[in-house]
Structure 1
Amino acid sequence: MQCYKNGQLIDSIPLLDRAFHYGDGCFTTARIFHGNFELKELHFARLKLACNSLSLDADLSFIEKSFVHLQQQHPNLNGTLKVVISRGEGDRGYSLPLHAADVYVWYYPRVTQAFQPEWIESGMLNHALGLNMPHLVGLKTLNRLEQVLLKQEADQQGWLEALVSDVQGSIVEGVSSNCFIRINDRWITPELRYNGVHGVMRAKILSRMQQYQVECEQRCIDMSEIGRIQSLFFCNALHPMKAVIRFHDRCLEQQPYLDLFETLKLSQID
C-alpha cells in the first residue's frame, strides 16, 4: 500500500486531521486495470459535487499527480485507488478551518481480472438505514458507521453483499453497492431520495441501459415486494455485477443476468 497527500508520498497522517476526528470529508474508490483509471470522469464529477456540497476547497489535480507517480513506479498498475478529501487539520470543535482541503490517494495493489458476472448468495438485512439530511443524500461522505454495522450483520449471515432498507421500509441499496432488481420482467433500481449513495457504476449502467434501449425504472421499492423479486444484482466501482443466485432460501432467475451483461457490454468498463 502507498499513500499520497497533495501529490507527495507520505507515511503518516496528522493527529489533528478532521477526517479522523469528525469524518469531515468525502471519498471515492476506483478500480485500476492495466494502468487504466476506470470510470475516471464519473469519479471526478462525484468528488466535485461532494466538495461543493460540503464546502471543501480541494485541488483535485493532486489526484492526477499522485496517479502519475504511481504509474512511474508500477509499469503495469493493477489494484484499487481510494481518494479521500479531508477538511484537513483544525482545532477542537466543529467550526471550519479556513485553509484548503487535503487530498489523500491510497493505492492498494492487487490482481485484477476482466469483468465477468460474480455469482453470490444474499438476503435482506434487519438493520435499516436512517434518513439523511437532504443536503447529504447521495454523497459518499466519510461517515460510514451505518455501513460498518450492516457489514457486520452480512458477515454473520455469510453474505458477501445484502439488501438494505431504510426506516420507512423502502429498499435502498446493498451494504457497499447499489442494486438493480427485476420484478415482473422489468429492471428497477431504487430511487435514492432520502439516503443511499449515487454510485459511479450505477450511473454507468443506467447510461448503458439508455444507450442500448434497456428499460429500467427508478422508483421506490417497498419491502412488501421482496417476494416478487425475479433477479437481483449489486454493482459498485470495483465490479459491475454481483449476481444473486440464491436470496434467502429462494433461487433467482440467472439468464436475465447473462443477457443484460452481454447487452450492456459490462465486460468493458472505461
Structure 2
Amino acid sequence: MQERTLRIDAGRFTVRLAESDEDVAAAQRLRYRVFVEEMGATPSPDDRALRRERDAFDPYFDHLLLIDNHAKPADPLDGVAGVYRLLRGDVAKQGCGFYGESEYDLTKIKEYPRGTVELGRSCVDIAHRGGAAMHLLWTGLGRYVAEHSIEIMFGVASFHGSDPTKLAMPLAYLHHNHLAPEDLRVRTREEFFVPMDLIPADQVVRAEAMRQIPPLIKAYIRLGGSVGEGAYVDHAFNTVDVCLLMDTSRMVDRYREFYQRASRGATDRILG
C-alpha cells in the first residue's frame, strides 16, 4: 500500500484508500461474501475459517474502499460496502509483478513507457448495487489515476460460470467489436488460451450479447475500453475471464465532471 491522501466524502458514503491492516481485512471480508458465498469461488481452509478472500498480492495493492457511514455492523470487518484493489506499474516492477500475469502475457503492458495500473477484485455489497456505490468507486478511481498520472488501466474481469460455450455470444461480441489495438493487445497465455470468436461476426446478436455481459464490463466498454485476445477459465473462482484495457483520459474526465456537478449541487445525475 502507498500514500493515503485519497478521500471523498459524499453524504452517506466515504471513498478512501485502506489505511490499516484492519481496513484490508474488511475488504477481504467483502470479497469473501461476494466471490465465495455468492459466486462459488473455492476458498482455502484458512480463508474459510476467517471468512476472508486473500492472496499473496494483497500487500502490494492499494485498496480503494467504499464505506457506508450509516452501517452499524456487529463485526467491524463487515462495514465495507465496496472495494477495488489497485497495483501501479511502478510498484509491480519493484518485484511483485502483476496478478494478471498468471493468466495473460502482459509484456506489452510491462513495456508501456508511461503510468499503468492493474485493477482487480472489484465488488459491491448486494445491498448497495444499482445505486450510487459503483459510481462513487469509479469517481475515486478517477481521482487515483489523475493523481498518479496513469494513462492505461487494465485488469481481469469475469463472467460468472466456467463454461465458455455458454458465453459464446458475449465473448464473440467483445472480440469482434472491442478488441484492443495491436500495441496494447495482451493475449491469454498459450497453455490457457480460450478463443473468444466462437461465433462469426455476422451471426452475433448485439442485444443478446449485451444481456449477458456483466454491468462492470459494460461500464468499461461504454467508456472506451477494449479487451485482450482470448479468454481464461478460472475454475477456482468459477469464472470465465477477459482482460480489459482502457485509456484513462475518459475516466479522468468523469472524475472532473463529478466535482463540477457536485459544486453546483447536482450530483444525482452522476450518482444514480
Does the pair score TM above 0.5? no
TM-score tier after normalising by the smaller chain length: under 0.3
Q: TM-score normalised to the size of structure 2?
A: 0.21
Q: TM-score normalised to the size of structure 1?
A: 0.21
Larger Rg: 1
Structure with greater strand share of residues = 1
Structure with greater helix share of residues = 2
